[in-house]
Amino acid sequence: MATPAKQAAIAELSEKFRESGAAVLTEYRGLTVAQLAGLRASLREYGTYSVVKNTLTELAAKDAGVTAFDGQLTGPSAIAFITGDPVEAAKSLRDFSKANPLLVIKAGVLDGKPMTAEEITKLADLESREVLLAKLAGAMKAKTSQAAALFQAPLSKTVRTVEALRAKVAEGGDAQA
């Protein structure tokens, strides 16, 4: 039977799993406290980065229905609980791990679906949500502009034809008079 403190820690971790849109499991062996503080600062806008106990995390993940970390909880582990933009958080983790190769991204979960370290890197390579939405809006605007031009073309062609006929009739009318 777990002590009340451990039960509280499990409940807190379970709640973090449920509240987060994504979570990334990392190993931080060899990083200094200052480096970890820098990582936390870079992730602050998107979520939290917490050093966790493997056994308690395993129990909390099971309680929250997260299976992505099964067999991955070995060594010194920390989890980035992401409540903001998962793409930007993945970029922060990827950039930090490039600068500090001792940070190892092990696995993750995004909207309940397990992710490998490679998939997290691919997620980091995506453009941000705002950029993708702007591109989509631009494409939609271009399509509506094309449609408007397409609908307007027969009308403007008809107007030019009528104007040419009117001019011809005016010329012909002057010649007969």
Per residue in 16-70, pLDDT tens? 988 888 999 999 898 899 999 999 998 899 889 989 898 899 988 888 888 888 8
Residue 126 pLDDT > 80: no
Picking from 139, 108, 140, the residue whose alpha carbon sits closest to that of residue 23 is 108
Say whether both 78 and 135 belong to one domain: no
> Residue 97 is part of which domain span?
4-126
Check pLDDT > 60 for residue 154.
yes
Q: What percent of the chain has pLDDT over 90?
A: 16
Q: Are residues 67 and 146 in the same domain?
A: no
We report the CATH number of the domain holding residue 56 as 3.30.70.1730
Q: Is the pLDDT of residue 177 over 50?
A: no
Domain count, the chain: 2
Determine the straight-line distance between the first and last CA of the chain, rounded to whole angstroms.
Answer: 114
Residues 141 and 86 in one domain: no
- In angstroms, the Cα distances linking 60 to 3, 55, 65, 83, 109 are 15, 9, 9, 18, 14
What confidence score (pLDDT) does residue 134 get? Answer: 84
Same domain, 160 and 110: no
Shared domain for 96 and 131, answered yes or no, is no
Name the pLDDT band for 81 (thresholds 50, 70, 90). very high
